[in-house]
Amino acid sequence: MSSLLSLSSITPRSWQGYAALVLLAGALLLWPLVDAAPGYGVGTAALIFLLLLLAIGADNFPPAIGVVLLFLGAHGAAWLLLAGITGNEGTARASFYLLLAAAWLLAWRCVTVLSALRPASRWAATALRLIIPAIFGAWILIIWEAVTRGAGIPFILLPPPSAIGVRIANSLPVLAADVRQTIFKA
């Protein structure tokens, strides 16, 4: 058997990896992800699990490669989870939230590995100081979006960030006129 496919290649070396593995197992036991039909297809669900397993196994690679695998695995799985809940708002089951938590833990591991890097160049250190809080902020929005859409929270009580972003984007001409009047003409 190839070393890439052996069980030791996905054995995590961090507590986040072990916790994510437990959450993946729990999600399998509590299948399906949503109550609605058609829900997530087998291919999409398999890709989510594959991305998360790839990220869990990232600890077995050098840090530069591991960070890329962690980032792609955690964020790819989160994107697929959010894309799949579209049209099925309010139907998310426990397995959806377990997979979301696993992706979040792996994003946390990504930030931990990034924090341990000590780049030699100044621009790389500056980029790293921007990337780490950006990932943290993105996950606040990802969790907010997933919980509001997955639980079906009414938009009037707590709109998801995507709805707020669309509203702001559609109001840009009015906002620009307000800024011009308030700041530049006053």
Task: Note whether 141 and 167 are same-domain residues.
Answer: no
In a domain, 15, yes or no: yes
Residue 148 confidence (pLDDT) above 60? yes
- Tokens representing residue 177 in the block: 């006129």
Task: Note whether 133 and 50 are same-domain residues.
Answer: yes
In a domain, 43, yes or no: yes
The domain containing residue 52 runs over which residues? 7-153
Task: Note whether 51 and 71 are same-domain residues.
Answer: yes
Task: Note whether 84 and 168 are same-domain residues.
Answer: no
Q: pLDDT-derived band of residue 2, with 50, 70 and 90 as boundaries?
A: very low
Note the pLDDT of residue 83. Answer: 92
Task: Note whether 168 and 93 are same-domain residues.
Answer: no
In a domain, 2, yes or no: no
Contact between 139 and 47 (Cβ < 8 Å): no
Q: Say which range, 40-54, 71-85, 109-123, has the weakest mean pLDDT.
A: 40-54
In a domain, 90, yes or no: yes
Note the pLDDT of residue 55. Answer: 93
What would the mean pLDDT of 16-28 be, rounded to a whole number? 93
Task: Note whether 172 and 149 are same-domain residues.
Answer: no
What would the mean pLDDT of 13-32 be, rounded to a whole number? 90
Task: Note whether 176 and 89 are same-domain residues.
Answer: no
In a domain, 88, yes or no: yes
Task: Note whether 46 and 72 are same-domain residues.
Answer: yes
Q: Residues of the chain with pLDDT > 70: what percent?
A: 91
Region for residue 45 given its phi and psi (left: phi exceeds 0; alpha: psi -120 to 50; beta: otherwise): alpha
Task: Note whether 53 and 141 are same-domain residues.
Answer: yes
Q: Which residues contact 59 (CB under 8 A, 6 or more apart)?
A: 12, 13, 14, 17, 66, 109
In a domain, 176, yes or no: yes
Across all residues in the chain, what is the average pLDDT?
Answer: 89
In a domain, 134, yes or no: yes
Task: Note whether 29 and 49 are same-domain residues.
Answer: yes
Select from 129, 135, 128, 138 the least CA-distant residue to 162. Answer: 138
Q: Kindly report the length of the chain.
A: 186
Q: What is the DSSP string of 120-162?
A: SSHHHHHHHHHHHHHHHHHHHHHHHHHHHHHHT--TTTS--HH
Task: Note whether 45 and 11 are same-domain residues.
Answer: yes
pLDDT in tens, 65-104: 999 999 999 999 999 999 989 888 888 899 999 999 999 9
Task: Note whether 186 and 97 are same-domain residues.
Answer: no
What would the mean pLDDT of 30-47 be, rounded to a whole number? 80
Note the pLDDT of residue 32. Answer: 82
In a domain, 1, yes or no: no
Residue 8 confidence (pLDDT) above 90? no
Work out how many domains the chain is built from and give that number.
2
